[in-house]
Amino acid sequence: MRLRLAGAVLLSAAAYYVYLPLPSGVSEPWKLMLLDALFRSFLQASDAAHSLGVCHRVHLLNQVVSWVEVIEARSCAAVHVTDSTLGGVPTRVFQPKEGKQLKRGVLYFHGGGWALGSGRMRSYDRLCRKMAEDLDAVIMSVDYRLAPEAVFPDQYHDALAASRAFLSSQVLERYGIDPHRVCVSGDSAGGNLAAAVAQELSLDDTLTVKFKAQALIYPVLQALDFYTPSYQQNQAVPILYRPIMARFWLQYLGADSSLEPLLLANNHSSLDQPAISASARSKLDWTALLPPKRRKHFRPVVKETGSPGVMGEVPELMDVRAAPLLAEQGVLGRTPKAYVMTCEFDVLRDDGLMYVRRLQDAGVAVTSDHYEDGFHGCMVFAFLPMMSSVGQRSMNNYIHWLDQNL
**CB < 8 Å & 24+ apart, contacts of 293-301:** 294/229, 294/230, 294/349, 294/350, 294/353, 295/229, 296/229, 296/233, 298/227, 298/229, 298/232, 298/233, 300/225, 300/227, 301/225, 301/227, 301/266
CA 237/CA 218 separation, integer angstroms? 15
From the list 190, 204, 83, the residue with the least C-alpha distance to 144 is 190
Query: Buried b vs exposed e over 123-143: b needs ≥16 C-beta within 10 Å?
Result: bbbbbbbbbbbbbbbbbbbbb
Given CA atoms 177, 179, 181, 185 in this order, what sign does their dihedral have? positive
Q: Collapse the DSSP code of 160 into the 3-class scheme (helix H, G, I; strand E, B; otherwise coil) and give the result.
A: helix
Question: Phi/psi class of residue 114: alpha, beta or left (left: φ > 0; alpha: ψ in -120 to 50)?
Answer: left
Query: Of 187, 346, 350, 369, which one is the catalytic site residue?
Result: 346
CA 30/CA 136 separation, integer angstroms? 36
Residue 4 C-beta-side C-alpha neighbours within 13 Å: 1
From the list 342, 391, 383, the residue with the least C-alpha distance to 121 is 383
Q: Quick check: is 346 catalytic?
A: yes
From the list 208, 189, 195, 181, the residue with the least C-alpha distance to 348 is 189
DSSP annotation string for 9-27: HHHHHHHHHH-----TTSS
Neighbours of 75 (CB within 10 A): 13
Q: Is 92 exposed, middle or buried (0-12, 13-18, 19+ CB in 10 A)?
A: buried
CA 61/CA 47 separation, integer angstroms? 10
Query: Of 269, 376, 388, 394, which one is the catalytic site residue?
Result: 376
Query: Of 188, 270, 307, 394, which one is the catalytic site residue?
Result: 188
Backbone angles phi, psi at 90, to 5 degrees: -55, 135
Give residue 361's identity as a one-letter amino acid code. D
- The catalytic residue positions are 188, 346, 376
